[in-house]
Chains A and B, each alone.
Chain A
Amino acid sequence: MKTSREILFARHQSNAPKLDAIRREVVAGLNHQDTKAQSGAVNLVSWCLGGSNKLWLELIWPCRRIWSGLAAVWILIFIINFAQRDGSQDANAKSAPTAGVMMAFGEQEKLLNELLADRSLPVEADRPRNFTPKPRTETIRFLII
């Protein structure tokens, strides 16, 4: 004698491998999600600790003179760039217009506006001319060369 439960389970026991596969797949998906969420921070830390060491030993240390030369050039470029920027800012500050110049500009602008106002008055348009057609000769002139 069997219970109904035993009968039901025995009937579907053959599908256990498929169910195992489904379970593994879903759990792997959970693992993947977890690792995906954590991977950003973990990867950064591991890269900083372990990966950077490897990078240092394999890429930078063998050609350290070239790298240090490149670094020096870049530093020089930055220094020059910053120095030029500071210089240009000073020049801009020096070339700022004074109050007198600004007043002169204001007067010139006022004068220009007055002149433009005179020209903007409506000018009487030319009247249309009365056109009377003149008689045309119907004779054809032949030029004999």
Chain B
Amino acid sequence: MPEVADIEQLPVPQARAGEPAAWDALFRRYQLPLYVYVFELVRDEQAGLDIVQETFIAAARHIGGLRDDAKFGSWLFGIAHQKCVQRWRKRREILLDEIPETPDEFEDSPDDLLIRREQEAEFMNLLNQLPLPQRSVLLLHFVEDFSLEEISHVTESPLGTVKSRLHYAKKSLRKLLEEKK
């Protein structure tokens, strides 16, 4: 299982120089987290694989647009997120989030949710019940442990919105999991 690697060790400069081996290493590092994120948003295996492929191609083509090599991960997820948004727009799915923005109230603990084995299936079910914007933020937090700023960059949402979405998503999940105990 891949772990969240130190971003500074990634061969982004080599990839920028056009070395296929560097691209291979980068894609290998991000392929599963990216697929997990995309699949849990679009809920379609083939569409998820297609979006991952399109994301890789777009990344290789537009690497010149990446200003900070350390932000390669969030940049890549940002491309994938945009692909998902395009897909949603095509399918006319509603993306509106009606959660009010009161970011200063939230103090989320940095530790992840711990889930018991018998709750795993339930966790996935609950995750799918969350509205898309909340699910997106929560997945980015779970899968890559992105900071709020990075999630804000990926989803192109204001920081306050990201904070509130993450807060409510975690709260909803915890509540649902506690209810199921």
Contact = CB atoms under 8 A, between A and B. Distances in A.
Interface in A1-50: 1-13, 15-16, 18-20, 22-23, 25-27, 29-31, 34
B53 A2 contact: no
A1 B116 contact: yes
Q: How large is the interface on A (under 10, 10 to 19, 20 to 34, 35 or more residues)?
A: 20 to 34
B112 interface: yes
B18 interface: yes
Interface residues of B, number: 35
B75 interface: no
B52 A19 contact: yes
Contacts, number: 90
Nearest to A9: B1
Most chain B beta carbons < 10 A, residue from A4, A7, A11, A27 = A4
Contact of A12 (B20, B28, B35, B117): B35
B22 to A, nearest CB: 10
A12 B41 CA distance: 13
A8 B33 CA distance: 9
The 5 A-B residue pairs with the shortest CB-CB distance, nearest first, are A19-B31, A23-B27, A26-B56, A3-B112, A4-B142
23 contacts: A1-B114, A1-B115, A2-B114, A2-B115, A3-B112, A3-B115, A3-B142, A4-B123, A5-B142, A7-B120, A7-B123, A8-B36, A8-B40, A9-B2, A9-B33, A11-B36, A16-B31, A16-B32, A19-B31, A23-B28, A23-B56, A27-B27, A30-B18
Interface of B: 1-2, 18, 20, 23-24, 27-28, 31-33, 35-36, 39-40, 45, 49, 52-53, 56-57, 60, 112-117, 120, 123-124, 139, 142-143, 145
Interface of A: 1-13, 15-16, 18-20, 22-23, 25-27, 29-31, 34
